[in-house]
Structure 1
Amino acid sequence: MVIKRNLFLWDFYKCSKGIIPGCLKSVSYQQSEFKNPNVLNKDQLPKVCYMSLFPNFLKAELVDEDNYEVKKIEHYGFSGAAMLVSDSNSTDDYLKKFTKRQLRVNLKRAMKKLEDAHAVKYEYHFGDISDETCQNLLNALKNMILGRFDGRVEDHVFLMEWDKNTENLAESIRDKKSSLFVVYADDKPISISVNRHINNTILFSETHSFDADYTNYSLGHIDNYMLLNWAIENQYPYIDLGIGVFDYKSKWCNSIYDIEYLIFYKKKSVLAYTIAQFEAGKINLKNTVKALKDRIKKK
């Protein structure tokens, strides 16, 4: 094989696969290393390993780094938001260090308002859930998303591949690779998030939605509070809020990361070099076109 293409984020995060492309020996975040159990031998490597959607807070280690060069190209317009919590002793400590006073005031007010008006319960389904409970919560989540998006499936990425995204979720939760965080009001789920867990290190918030009837309670912020509280209590150093640095994320995050293309190509191979240059040229052209479109929109 001359070139092997991998969509990194889908395999590593989505559906709790935790799969690392065979051309990589491992990926790591700071001192945490995720070793690849399905690593290829050096003689199995293609001349070019093309990897898209790679978050640059991770470090990739190629199987045969001595004999390969790498091109790193930013994916224009794709950035992600994260909460680095390893240096925070508590949820309140993180909030005081990295968020504005107004967010803290509004969050406290929203939670009190919700708890005064309803019998509220916060649940973390991680490591233990029945198939029936999981399915009931997924049904509720789907209805929430449809209600907020007026039934337009194509407007919601998670919903577009619902079956694939929710397949075997209960089993994944019992295996501690996924979780459902839920807010109940009067025994009714009103806010649900689906999260992925990578090697007791990264908590990835894949999707979240809430009952539109409870819009006035800032449930998006309450869900982020639940994520933060759980991560600190369980010593997860990194919360990935996903691609797209939207306003509500920016109020919580203390780190922004870029998404990159990684093109590894074999040294001293004219064919590999030519393919790598061609692929890099296509990426740069796409980035240029996107940048021009953005400039035109701003005028």
Structure 2
Amino acid sequence: MKTNPFTSSIFESIWSKHFNNVNDPIAFEFIKGVQFLKKSRLGVYENIGKNLTKGIYYDLDFSKNDFKGKTYLIYDVPTYFELAPFSPPSSSSLKLKKVFQYQGFLMDISSFSNQDDYINAQFSSKNRREFRSNQRRLEACFDISYTFIHDAIAQTEFDDLFKQFHDLLSKRFAGKQTNYHHLSADKWNYYKELVFNMLSQKRASLLVIYKEKIPIGITLNFHSEDVLFEAITVFDPDYYKFSIGKTSIIKLLEWCFENKYRISDFSKGDYDYKHKWSNLSYDFDYHILYDSKSILSVFKANYVALFYKAKLYLRRKKVNQLYRKYTFLIKGEATNFTDKSHDNFSFEKLENFVPSEDFERIDFKSQAHKFLLQFVYTFLFANPEYEEQIEVYKQNNKNVYVIKGSKKSQKISFS
């Protein structure tokens, strides 16, 4: 890989600024493409970026021996990167341990001519009709546009967009009742500076699905010369019936084919949609390089390997998910995005609804009635028409609402 974005100078400098304000990065002659920091407590050298990359590529020079007495940990090495075989001469004491940590998924599109060919190979005709129908309904109901930002933009424009990105993620994970570590202040400030600078170098991109001028779906990507790495993706859960996530993947595929990319990488994380869309799974391994003639180096390597095997065991037991939910609850992160008072409701279809004096028309887009959006948009999905044609009424002195379209209506009663 010639232009790995996660070992670029801009990535290394911005990551170091946010997560290392003590030690200077260290380069070693025996390993090319990676710089390290020394973890003080254990004395292990860890790659800059640690686990905030989507894949590290490196080369080894076995004629160099500045690894003597040292131990190195390289996070997130995907097997599909096809590093040169580890084959040191018999005289070298350099050894390698690989510890599996995550499953990764990608779309290898190199043998397909366009996105339709790929989708035809992955999905049944029924699925393909569903994709087209969801997108048509989305565009029939709302003023939708798609923007792929892969170049420098004004700071003010970027700041506004990244704030909306943060808001969408916060809303999404509040709905899941779980903590999302990338939303912490330190990591989000890091991403904000990193992405703004990497956009100007065409090493990052943002796919944005707008409804009018408001983002309802955003995907952050990083780029090598022919690989797109999907880093963070989110859509507004109010529009979940329209399957915006699937439309985002199709738009990314279109862009990859238009720009002659070979791979669209979903990266780590085991989710159903990745199994369905990817045609190749791979391993994310942690690589531990060490000096086999140094007792201390061997001890450190074994300790690090055991530590990450234990983390993998706990992750497979879902301990990390329980921890994120616990963290979410104790931080009270649901406050601004969830409203439990509208969890219990019932539906009733209405024929020829004509509002009486007992009903008052309301602005369902107002802050006071934002809880109704998911119901309005679900109604629109089932009865496609332009959003501006929809009227919503509230029954006086009751927690009852009516969504009225041009042909059909629906009553929602909250208890």
1:54 is displaced (CA, Å) by: 2.2
Match of 1:205 in 2: 230
Match of 2:73 in 1: 50
Distance 1:168 1:72, change over 3 A: closer
Residue range with higher mean Cα deviation, 173-182 or 128-137: 128-137
CA distance in 2, matches of 1:121, 1:100: 27
SS class of match (1:92): helix
Distance 1:11 1:234, change over 3 A: closer
Match of 1:118 in 2: 142
CA distance in 1, matches of 2:192, 2:274: 24
Match of 2:133 in 1: 109
Q: How does 1:186-205 map to 2 (within 5 A)?
A: 186-198=212-224, 200-205=225-230
CA distance in 2, matches of 1:265, 1:90: 45
CA distance in 1, matches of 2:198, 2:226: 16
Match of 2:190 in 1: 164
Match of 1:25 in 2: 32
SS class of match (1:42): coil
Contact 1:100 1:251 in 2 (8 A): no
Match of 2:262 in 1: 237
Match of 1:81 in 2: 105
Match of 2:274 in 1: 249
Distance 1:152 1:211, change over 3 A: closer
Aligned alpha-carbon RMSD (Å): 3.6
Distance 1:181 1:265, change over 3 A: same
Distance 1:151 1:17, change over 3 A: farther
Number of residues paired by the alignment?
A: 275
Counterpart code for 2:218: I
Contact 1:16 1:197 in 2 (8 A): no
CA distance in 1, matches of 2:182, 2:151: 23
Distance 1:50 1:170, change over 3 A: closer
Q: How does 1:145-160 map to 2 (within 5 A)?
A: 145-150=169-174, 155-160=179-184
1:259 is displaced (CA, Å) by: 1.7
State yes or no: 1:177 paired with 2:203. Answer: yes
**Which fold has the larger relative contact order, with Cα–Cα distance below 8 Å and residues 6 or more apart in sequence?**
1
Query: TM-score under structure 1 normalisation?
Result: 0.78
SS class of match (2:139): helix
CA distance in 2, matches of 1:146, 1:11: 26
State yes or no: 1:276 paired with 2:283. Answer: no
1:168 is displaced (CA, Å) by: 4.3
CA distance in 2, matches of 1:188, 1:279: 46
CA distance in 1, matches of 2:12, 2:259: 21
| Structure 2, gaps ≥5 residues long | 16-25, 35-55, 319-415
Match of 2:95 in 1: 69
Distance 1:177 1:17, change over 3 A: farther
1:83 is displaced (CA, Å) by: 0.9
Runs of 4+ in 1 over 6 A off after TM superposition: 18-21, 33-36, 151-154
CA distance in 2, matches of 1:17, 1:105: 44
CA distance in 1, matches of 2:27, 2:287: 12
Contact 1:193 1:209 in 2 (8 A): yes
The CA deviation string for residues 230-256 of structure 1, in whole angstroms up to 9 with x for no partner, is: 112111212111211201222211111
> Which is strand-richer, 1 or 2?
1
Residue range with higher mean Cα deviation, 109-118 or 97-106: 97-106
Match of 1:93 in 2: 117
Distance 1:176 1:17, change over 3 A: farther
CA distance in 1, matches of 2:73, 2:82: 15
Contact 2:5 2:223 in 1 (8 A): no
Counterpart code for 1:57: Y
Residue range with higher mean Cα deviation, 209-218 or 39-48: 39-48
SS class of match (1:167): helix
Counterpart code for 1:194: L
Contact 2:62 2:88 in 1 (8 A): no
The CA deviation string for residues 64-91 of structure 1, in whole angstroms up to 9 with x for no partner, is: 944222122222xx21111111111100
Distance 1:219 1:152, change over 3 A: closer
